[in-house]
């Protein structure tokens, strides 16, 4: 961590004296305010992880709390390169955004904007069909087989599985191994084939339209453990929606659990850059986790 701060300081000096040409920062908006997770600590952590790369300039739009009217919630999405969803109202009845805000959000994505779906953001808006296309698959909020198939990784291929049941579950937080299923994508290029994630929730049985999905990484939900499905569940994936690029990470329950993993930080940073630009310039750090060893920033 100290090394990171030192490197960032050196980079800042080099930029300030003109030794390094600073690319324009990617304008990033984190959306929060309604979440059954502690968004008041996860949003600053998201901001820190993005801004420490020097690649992003981050603003935050906070919706009024559940129960209060959303009429005035009208962020200007068009000013940004990428939106990071840390928003997860899913307990029924779920309030939708004002129509103008939803239309602006969909126009932003369709016209080529980037979106990052972070952890419980795939719980949000079970009753908004276009949002469910943007997330690919999601859980909770009354979602079942009526909402679409599950994504699984079987025999080296992504498959869509139609079976009855509820969408969304996880066992107690524990470390688990992640498999890079697509090593050729800009986000995952250079990652180890297998890597250990720090203690976190392993989401499983997510369901949705699952259209235009590219699976990047999956994890085996061991049936010997609580809620284990015996399947490789989707962990990192992208969705094409109109001209827009969506990066979906199911990882990162809290600032200290899941978000502390060097692998989470790296894939969030690279995934956000890719969603914003379609390219990745941010490197894979030397302390990235390995097949049998976690790597925590704490
Ligand atoms: Zn969680």
In angstroms, what is the span from residue 140 Cα to ligand 1's centroid?
12
In a domain, 80, yes or no: yes
Summarize pLDDT for 50-76 with one digit per residue, the tens.
999 999 999 999 999 988 999 999 999
The answer to whether 204 and 229 have CB atoms below 8 angstroms apart is yes
Whether 150 is in a domain gets the answer yes
Q: What is the pLDDT of residue 16?
A: 47
The pLDDT tens digits of the residues spanning 180-207 come to 999 999 999 999 999 999 999 999 999 9
Find the 202 Cα to ligand 1 centroid distance in Å.
9
* Residues with CB in 5 Å of ion ligand 1: 201, 253
Domain membership flag for residue 253: yes
Counting the structural domains of the chain, the total is 1
Flag whether 222 is in a domain.
yes
**Measured in angstroms, how far is the CA atom of residue 290 from the centroid of ligand 1?**
24
Distance (Å) from CA 62 to ligand 1 centroid? 19
Query: What average pLDDT does range 157-179 have in this prediction?
Result: 97
Distance 176 CA to ligand 1 centre (A): 15
Q: Which residues contact 42 (CB under 8 A, 6 or more apart)?
A: 32, 35, 86, 118, 119, 252, 254, 255, 259
User: What is the extent of the structural domain holding 118?
Assistant: 26-277
Task: Give the Å distance between the CA of 51 and the centre of ligand 1.
Answer: 23
Can you tell me the mean pLDDT for 157-174?
97
87-131: pLDDT as tens digits? 999 888 899 999 999 999 999 999 999 999 999 999 999 999 999
Per-residue burial over 9-20, b = 16 or more CB atoms within 10 Å of its CB, e = otherwise: eeeeeeeeeeee
CA dihedral over 117, 118, 122, 127, signed as positive or negative: negative
pTM of the model: 0.93
Share of the chain above pLDDT 90, in %: 90
Residue 266 lies in a domain: yes
- Confidence check: pLDDT of 19 > 50: no
Q: Is residue 295 part of a domain?
A: no
How far, in Å, is the centroid of ligand 1 from the Cα of 257? Answer: 9
Residue 14 per-residue DSSP state: H
State the pairing for strand pair 114-118/82-85. parallel
Mean pLDDT value of segment 2-9: 56
**Residue 19 falls within a domain, yes or no?**
no
Is residue 82 a part of any domain in this protein?
Answer: yes
- Find the CATH number of the domain harbouring 252: 3.40.50.880
Average pLDDT, the chain: 94
Question: Tell me: the pLDDT tens digits for 217-265?
Answer: 999 999 999 999 999 999 999 999 999 999 999 999 999 999 999 999 9
- Residue 59 CA, ligand 1 centroid: distance in Å: 23
């Amino acid at each position: 961590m100290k090394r990171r701060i030192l490197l960032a300081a050196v980079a800042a000096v080099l930029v300030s004296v003109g030794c390094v040409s600073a690319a324009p920062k990617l304008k990033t908006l984190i959306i929060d305010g309604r979440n059954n997770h502690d968004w008041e600590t996860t949003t600053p952590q998201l901001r820190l992880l993005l801004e420490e790369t020097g690649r992003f300039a981050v603003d935050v739009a906070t919706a009024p709390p559940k129960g209060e009217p959303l009429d005035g919630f009208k962020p200007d999405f068009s000013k940004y390169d990428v939106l990071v969803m840390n928003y997860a109202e899913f307990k029924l009845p779920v309030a939708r955004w004002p129509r103008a805000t939803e239309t602006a959000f969909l126009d932003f994505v369709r016209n080529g904007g980037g979106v990052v779906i972070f952890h419980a953001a795939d719980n949000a808006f079970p009753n908004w069909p276009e949002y469910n296309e943007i997330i690919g698959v999601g859980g909770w909020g009354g979602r079942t087989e009526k909402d679409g198939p599950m994504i699984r990784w079987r025999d080296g291929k992504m498959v869509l599985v139609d079976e009855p049941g509820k969408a969304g579950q996880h066992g107690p937080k524990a470390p688990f191994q992640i498999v890079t299923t697509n090593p050729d994508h800009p986000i995952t290029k250079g990652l180890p084939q297998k890597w250990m994630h720090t203690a976190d929730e392993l989401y499983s049985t997510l369901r949705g339209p699952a259209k235009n999905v590219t699976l990047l990484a999956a994890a085996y939900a061991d049936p010997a453990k609580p809620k284990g499905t015996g399947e490789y569940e989707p962990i990192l994936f992208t969705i094409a929606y109109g001209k827009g690029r969506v990066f979906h990470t199911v990882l990162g329950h809290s600032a200290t659990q899941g978000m502390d993993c060097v692998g989470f930080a790296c894939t969030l940073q690279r995934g956000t850059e890719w969603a914003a630009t379609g390219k990745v310039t941010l490197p894979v750090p030397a302390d990235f986790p390995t097949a049998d060893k976690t790597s925590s920033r704490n």
